[in-house]
A = this chain, B = another copy of it.
């Protein structure tokens, strides 16, 4: 059935108060779709959303709850009883419960913690300790652990017994008596082995794992590089404390890409989507960068003031300032972006600086030459002949086009160098993107332009 039709059908059932058929429909839908449907109801009538949510079974309710955003979770929590809340919290995977706790207001968190069982409460508390963006903060404790002396039949029996609530059963981890990680075995190899084989003989001892304090990006990279379904997370004593599954890693990858893109456009990144961020919050994320970049333009205005007399003597030069500045900025940001992305994808490293600079210089030379030649023709043909601006003489065109060539070469060198220097110094290279590069290349462009002008035009 098409989604639109389904929605209409649900609306109709709801309106006619056909509760049982509505419950059946909701039960058959994917949690993600139910959450979308609830959000739509909630936009108009949050009370109604709470009522529809209470129609879900305990298990479905928890799944749907995990898919909702914090403000909707808050509405739901306010519309259910403590017993219902406790049931949801117990059903949630720990990582989802922790996500929720980090976003909800303090009074709601208190209510949730009060209703949780002592075990769940201890687990949530333990997770909340892990630093934001660390592997520990996105791991889940629901994994299947095996012992190496088990045989395949026993292992499969254990999976069947405890697998129901685990976030993945397809990768099982072999731990020692003191919970140290000893190996990994996939359900595939269990199924392809003989019932009597001992786990120790089929497990892979060469386990790729991350540390609770590692950056979550490290976990994402390992899962992506080695095509894993999950990666185990160990603590300081090498004890297995949780796993991170591939679906959580997809969210991390998308989130990191958004963060990189925002930082490259001079916006401080946040965890919230655009539609849920308030105006003042958005303003706080944008204005500091605008202020910084605006004040750094003091240099360009100082340079222009210094060359005021030259400009007065040959006022036609002013008209080409924007073109030179923009082309410099665009050339520089092309290089910076290419390098920043290659650094973050692991394609290049600071040790490749020589190769990169050499490559960028050749690209810059080719780009600069084409731009200069085209611009030379354009100045004489369009500006001088068609638009009839007699001040655009051949010496002026030579001044502008030589500057253009040099500015592109400078901009691409600076644009490719700065992210590499930042990476080497341990600064995030993304902040070296377009806006900062433009500000630097602006000053460079003006100095080159005016110096050449005084030299070529003798003003």
Contact = CB atoms under 8 A, between A and B. Distances in A.
B301 A319 contact: yes
Given A163-B192, A274-B347, A287-B370, A295 B378 contact: yes
How many copies of this chain does one complex carry? 2
Q: What's the dominant secondary structure at chain A's contact region?
A: helix
A262 interface: yes
A425 interface: no
Interface in A297-349: 297-298, 300-302, 304-305, 308, 311-312, 315-316, 318-323, 325-327, 329-331, 333-334, 336-339, 341-342, 345, 347-348
A308 B297 contact: no
A253 interface: yes
Contacts of A345: 254, 258, 273
A362 interface: yes
Contacts of A304: 318-319, 321-322
A291 B322 contact: no
A275 B352 contact: yes
A301 B337 contact: no
Interface string A19-35: 00000000011101000
Nearest to A302: B387
A458 interface: no
A75 interface: no
Nearest to A161: B192
A64 interface: no
Given A28-B206, A32-B226, A261-B337, A192 B170 contact: no
A382 interface: yes
B318 A275 contact: no
B275 A348 contact: yes
Interface string A247-266: 10111011001101110111
A435 interface: yes
A187 interface: yes
A329 B438 contact: yes
A359 interface: yes
A327 B274 contact: no
A297 to B, nearest CB: 4
A14 interface: no
A347 B275 contact: yes
Given A30-B208, A258-B345, A274-B339, A289 B320 contact: no
A394 interface: no
A279 B338 contact: no
A267 interface: yes
B446 A330 contact: no
A383 interface: yes
Contact of A265 (B188, B387, B434): B434
A387 to B, nearest CB: 7
A83 interface: no
A156 interface: yes
A410 to B, nearest CB: 14
Interface in A256-294: 257-258, 260-262, 264-267, 273-275, 279-280, 282-283, 286-287, 289-291, 293-294
A67 to B, nearest CB: 9
Contact of A188 (B169, B229, B327, B439): B169
13 contacts: A170-B187, A229-B229, A250-B250, A253-B253, A253-B254, A266-B333, A267-B337, A273-B342, A274-B347, A275-B352, A289-B334, A290-B331, A298-B378
